[in-house]
């Protein structure tokens, strides 16, 4: 693969992964399996490693993921809540074990824990009393859901005994038991409400309810598995878990201390089937190095610890009947087919739907109405159809054919060359697209409009108050306060945030517009290169492709956006509302050229600044952030707990290491 092909492939993968991130964490409606997502991520990681010149601090490979709800107060985590790397086979687990042995060159033990399938939470206690409960969010900060968590009976409000630290943090997983999940979905079905796909979605959705009394009715549960920062002062992870149980936390009795990979494999073999007897969902096993000192030596990558891995169980399969195929329209207009099934018990839950992804998948499966199909579920939220049993097919059964018109607005669908999905091109008149674009516009990394979430957007749309993003800036207090669940304070909060959003810089406004393929980094590059929205709209496609990381696909999408009169009207109205559509020279991105021509790798943790803050400092002083070490790396900005493999590679290539203080002196 040459450099130009790599640039295009990397940009496409980033755009695809960002879209799946949005569906998973924001819309809670993913369309691909965890395994398929992981394969895309691994492909992108490999390409970024081979072509470090295309490094991007906003790449999905740097992202932990996000479940943030802007209707909650945001709290920064004292210690980042990172995700875990996944493995799916004994061979991959053996590779992990060998890497640990190579890096430690000493004896070690593993702790095996069931991986509960819920939503992550971090609790802090002061003098034995619960002070705060915060969701994982984007890993750096999350939603303060303390009032909701306090309704969960299995979580202590006051710690037991008197042997606990004054300042104590613990992390765990909030889950919904199967029996509660089934009853909740039964009630929702009776009320004509959409059903939750599985207990994980139900737990996550419950924790984001704004009424804590409603949360209490959902009967959530919680299990705890980690004490970051080692507040208990023990030498091992195992001892910390035992002590956490003593002060009142629910710690699984099914954890096991293992003296080697063979014992780990025995544990996995047992729970491959025994997990179905548990009252809550599990989707794998987490394997951690037991010694906290050895964990410190092994360190972290940008998104996950090197001393732990999640083994995902193999998918379970079941046979059932295909009743019908329905179609959903997303924010970008992509139409996703969903199979409606005769309910069947699969991996501990009653399955009624399965993802079909796109028209090609339907064609490859050769699906017919009423087919008997084999359904598979591993880590997926929505299971998938593996195959149809043609031997049981009725001779008069009609083949399933992909629709030709949008199910929401009846606009004829289009399919772009080289893409699998069909799209509804009516992006300014199709209700799901309109609401999806508004949700994107108000999101944290776009206009960051506090007090608005998907439910509120739907409420505004249903009441005819908002039909496009520019309508947000025409809202009045007297229009908002009569709305359901709104109130005077909520209305004031929304209006103040809308006022504050007028100060959002041009690059983020450009990202907020939701132009297809224009993610955060692309928007930043475009804004820096063109200076203002008018020049961008008039720029020829050939000139657009000369901008850093802008290929033909992105350039064509940008040109199409500005050829639509409805889009131009939205921009004009946003201008009238005082939204910033040009890069201010006083706010220029480049503060100096002191680091011009330098490629810098950041590794470890730092005392004065976060890694993200340091990355920004590198960029605004003309430098380039890179994720992997190569002969072209100028410096390694090294903090505490730098990964041993990076340190070895730096030494072998004789790349100088600089401290945080050294770096700050360089840019003074």
The residues annotated as belonging to the active site are 115
Q: In this structure, are strands 256-258 and 282-289 parallel, antiparallel, or unpaired? A: unpaired
Q: How far apart are CA 152 and CA 166, in angstroms?
A: 23
C-alpha distances (whole Å) from 229 to each of 237, 296, 581 are 11, 11, 44
Cα-Cα-Cα-Cα torsion 319, 351, 201, 58, nearest 10 degrees, comes to: 40
- Three-class secondary structure of residue 635 per DSSP: strand
Cα-Cα-Cα-Cα torsion 5, 20, 89, 378, nearest 10 degrees, comes to: -150
C-alpha distances (whole Å) from 532 to each of 135, 210, 216, 517 are 37, 39, 50, 19
Q: Scan for tokens 């490859």, then name that residue.
A: 364
Q: How far apart are CA 117 and CA 78, in angstroms?
A: 24
What are the b/e assignments for 302-328, b being 16+ CB within 10 Å? bbbbbbbbbbbbebbebebebeebebe
Q: How far apart are CA 29 and CA 39, in angstroms?
A: 19
CB under 8 Å, gap of 24 or more: what pairs does 464-469 form? 466/438, 467/434, 468/428, 468/434, 468/437, 468/438, 468/570, 469/437, 469/438, 469/441, 469/512, 469/513, 469/570, 469/574
Q: How far apart are CA 445 and CA 596, in angstroms?
A: 27
Q: How far apart are CA 494 and CA 366, in angstroms?
A: 49
CB 495 within 8 A of CB 531: no
CB 120 within 8 A of CB 181: no
Q: How far apart are CA 311 and CA 277, in angstroms?
A: 19
Closest C-alpha to 219, from 202, 195, 236: 202
Tokens of 33: 């399996």
Q: Give, in degrees to the nearest 5, the angle at Cα 548 between 545 and 552.
A: 25
Neighbouring CB atoms inside 10 A of 297's CB total 18
Q: How would you class 582 by CB atoms within 10 Å of its CB: exposed for 0-12, middle for 13-18, buried for 19 or more? A: middle
Closest C-alpha to 362, from 320, 415, 401: 401
Q: How far apart are CA 133 and CA 136, in angstroms?
A: 10
Q: How far apart are CA 502 and CA 549, in angstroms?
A: 28
- Three-class secondary structure of residue 639 per DSSP: coil
What are the b/e assignments for 545-565, b being 16+ CB within 10 Å? eebebbbebbbbbbeebbeee
Name the strand (E) or helix (H) holding 156.
none
């Amino acid at each position: 693969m040459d450099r130009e092909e790599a640039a295009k492939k990397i940009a496409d993968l980033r755009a695809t992964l960002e879209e799946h991130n949005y569906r998973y964490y924001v819309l809670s409606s993913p369309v691909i399996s965890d395994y398929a997502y992981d394969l895309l991520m691994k492909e992108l990681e490999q390409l970024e490693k081979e072509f470090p010149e295309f490094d991007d601090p906003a790449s999905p490979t740097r992202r932990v993921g996000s479940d943030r709800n802007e209707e909650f107060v945001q709290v920064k985590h004292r210690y980042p809540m990172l995700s875990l790397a996944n493995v799916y086979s004994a061979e991959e687990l053996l590779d992990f074990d060998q890497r640990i042995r190579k890096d430690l060159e000493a004896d070690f033990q593993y702790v095996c824990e069931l991986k509960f399938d819920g939503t992550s939470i971090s609790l802090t206690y002061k003098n034995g009393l619960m002070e705060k409960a915060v969701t994982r969010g984007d890993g750096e900060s999350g939603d303060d859901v303390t009032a909701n968590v306090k309704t969960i009976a299995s979580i202590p409000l006051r710690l037991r005994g008197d042997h606990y630290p004054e300042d104590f943090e613990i992390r765990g997983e909030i889950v919904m038991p199967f029996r509660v999940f089934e009853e909740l979905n039964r009630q929702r079905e009776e009320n004509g409400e959409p059903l939750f796909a599985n207990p994980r979605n139900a737990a996550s959705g419950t924790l984001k309810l704004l009424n804590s009394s409603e949360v209490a009715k959902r009967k959530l549960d919680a299990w705890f598995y980690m004490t970051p920062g080692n507040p208990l002062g023990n030498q091992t992870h195992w001892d910390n878990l035992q002590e956490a149980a003593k002060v009142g936390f629910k710690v699984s009795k099914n954890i096991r201390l293992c003296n080697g990979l063979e014992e780990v494999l025995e544990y996995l073999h047992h729970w491959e089937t025994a997990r179905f007897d548990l009252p809550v969902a599990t989707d794998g096993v987490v394997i951690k190095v037991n010694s906290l000192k050895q964990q410190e030596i092994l360190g972290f990558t940008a998104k996950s610890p090197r001393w732990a891995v999640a083994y995902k169980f193999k998918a379970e399969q079941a046979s059932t009947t295909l009743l019908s195929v329905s179609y959903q329209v997303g924010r970008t207009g992509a139409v996703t087919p969903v199979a409606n099934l005769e309910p069947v018990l699969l991996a501990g839950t009653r399955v009624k739907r399965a993802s079909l992804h796109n028209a090609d998948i339907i064609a490859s499966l050769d699906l017919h109405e009423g087919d008997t199909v084999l359904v598979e579920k591993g880590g997926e939220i929505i299971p998938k159809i593996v195959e149809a049993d043609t031997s049981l097919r009725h001779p008069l059964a009609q083949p399933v054919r992909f629709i030709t018109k949008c199910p929401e607005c009846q606009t004829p669908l289009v399919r772009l060359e080289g893409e699998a999905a069909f799209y509804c091109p009516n992006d300014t008149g199709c209700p799901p697209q309109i609401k999806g674009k508004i949700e994107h516009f108000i999101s944290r990394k776009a206009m960051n409009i506090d007090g608005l979430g998907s439910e509120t957007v739907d409420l505004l749309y249903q009441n005819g108050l908002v039909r496009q993003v520019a309508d947000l800036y025409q809202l009045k207090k007297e229009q908002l306060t009569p709305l359901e669940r709104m109130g005077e304070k909520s209305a004031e909060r929304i209006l103040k945030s809308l006022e504050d959003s007028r100060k959002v810089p041009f690059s983020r406004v450009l990202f907020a517009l939701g132009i297809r393929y224009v993610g955060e980094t692309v928007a930043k590059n475009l804004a820096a290169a063109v200076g203002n929205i008018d020049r961008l709209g008039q720029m020829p496609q050939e000139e657009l492709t000369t901008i850093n990381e802008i290929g033909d696909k992105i350039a064509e999408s940008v040109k199409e956006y500005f050829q639509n009169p409805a889009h131009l009207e939205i921009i004009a109205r946003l201008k009238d509302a005082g939204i910033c559509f040009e890069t201010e020279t006083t706010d220029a991105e480049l503060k100096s050229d002191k680091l011009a021509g330098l490629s810098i790798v950041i590794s470890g943790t730092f005392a004065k600044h976060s890694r993200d803050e340091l990355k920004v400092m590198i960029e605004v002083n003309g430098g380039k952030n890179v994720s992997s070490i190569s002969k072209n790396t100028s410096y390694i900005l090294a903090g505490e707990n730098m990964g041993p493999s990076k340190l070895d590679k730096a030494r072998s290539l004789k790349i100088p290491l600089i401290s945080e203080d050294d770096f700050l002196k360089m840019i003074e």
